[in-house]
Chains A and B, each alone.
Chain A
Amino acid sequence: MNDKKLQAKDFITIGIFTALLFVVEFACGILGFIHPYIVASYVVLIPIVGSIPMMLFYTKIEKFGMLTIMSVLVAIIMFVTGMGYLGAPFIIAAGVIADLIARSGRYKSFKKTIISYGVFCLWICANYFPVVITANSYRKNLIEGGYSAEYCDNLFRAINSKTIAVLLILCFVFGCVGAYVGKAVVKKHFEKAGIV
Chain B
Amino acid sequence: MSLKLDPRTKLYMIFVVSAVVMMSATTPFLWAVRISMTMIPILLLIIEKHYAAAFRFLILYAAALIVSFRFLSENSKGFLSAFLVGYCSIIVQFMPAMITAWYVVRTTKIGEFVCAMQKMHIPDGITISLAVVMRFFPTIKEEYTAIRDAMKMRGIMLGGGDAAGIIEYRMIPLLFSCVNIGDELSAAAVTRGLGGKVKRTSVQVLKMSVADYLLMLLFTAALAVFVVFKYIK
Direct contact of A and B (CB under 8 A): yes
Chain A, 151-167, contact with B by CB distance < 8 Å: what is the 0/1 string? Answer: 10011000000000000
Residues of A within 8 A of B168 (CB): 185
Q: In which size bucket is the chain B interface?
A: 35 or more
B158 at the A interface (CB under 8 A)? no
A8 touches B128 (CB 8 A): yes
Q: List, in ascending order, chain B residues with CB within 8 A of A23's CB.
A: 137, 140
Contact pick for A73, options B77, B83, B105, B133, CB 8 Å: B133
Dominant secondary structure at the B interface: helix
Q: Are B132 and A76 in contact (CB under 8 A)?
A: no
Identify 19 residue pairs between A and B in the complex whose beta-carbon atoms are under 8 Å apart, listed by A's number.
Answer: A8-B189, A11-B128, A11-B129, A11-B195, A18-B133, A20-B175, A22-B137, A53-B171, A79-B15, A80-B104, A82-B14, A82-B101, A83-B101, A85-B18, A134-B24, A141-B24, A144-B26, A147-B72, A185-B172
Closest 8 pairs between A and B when the two form their complex, measured CB to CB:
A15-B132, A8-B195, A82-B101, A82-B97, A19-B136, A15-B129, A9-B186, A11-B128
B94 at the interface (CB under 8 A from A): yes
- Are the C-beta atoms of B15 and A85 separated by less than 8 Å? yes
The answer to the question of B90 belonging to the interface, with a C-beta cut-off of 8 Å to chain A, is yes
Query: What string of 1s and 0s marks CB contacts (under 8 Å) between A32-53 and chain B?
Result: 0001100000000000010011
Say whether A12 contacts B186, CB under 8 Å. yes
Known A81-B101, A154-B82; contact A11-B125, beta-carbon cutoff 8 A? yes
Q: Name A's interface SS.
A: helix
Indicate whether A80 sits within 8 Å of B18 (C-beta atoms), given known contacts A11-B129, A52-B171, A189-B172. no
Q: Which residues on A are within 8 Å of B, measured CB to CB?
A: 6-9, 11-16, 18-20, 22-23, 35-36, 49, 52-53, 56, 60, 65, 69, 72-73, 76-77, 79-86, 130-131, 133-134, 137-138, 141-142, 144, 147-148, 151, 154-155, 185, 189-190, 193, 195
8 Å CB contact of B178 from A16, A134, A148, A151 = A16
> Contacts A13-B182, A35-B87; is A69 near B18 (CB within 8 Å)?
no
Residues of B with C-beta under 8 A to A22: 133, 137
B189 touches A151 (CB 8 A): no
Q: For A155, what are the chain B residues with a Cβ–Cβ distance below 8 Å?
A: 82, 85-86, 89
The residue on A at minimum CB distance from B140 is: A23
User: Within the complex, what minimum Cβ distance (angstroms) separates A12 from chain B?
Assistant: 5
20 additional A-B residue pairs with CB within 8 Å, beyond A73-B133, A80-B101, A151-B82? A6-B125, A13-B182, A15-B130, A18-B133, A20-B136, A20-B140, A52-B167, A56-B179, A60-B179, A76-B130, A79-B15, A79-B18, A80-B14, A80-B105, A82-B97, A82-B102, A83-B97, A130-B21, A141-B24, A154-B82
* B78, closest chain A residue (CB): A154
Residues of chain B within 8 A (CB-CB) of A147 are: 72, 75
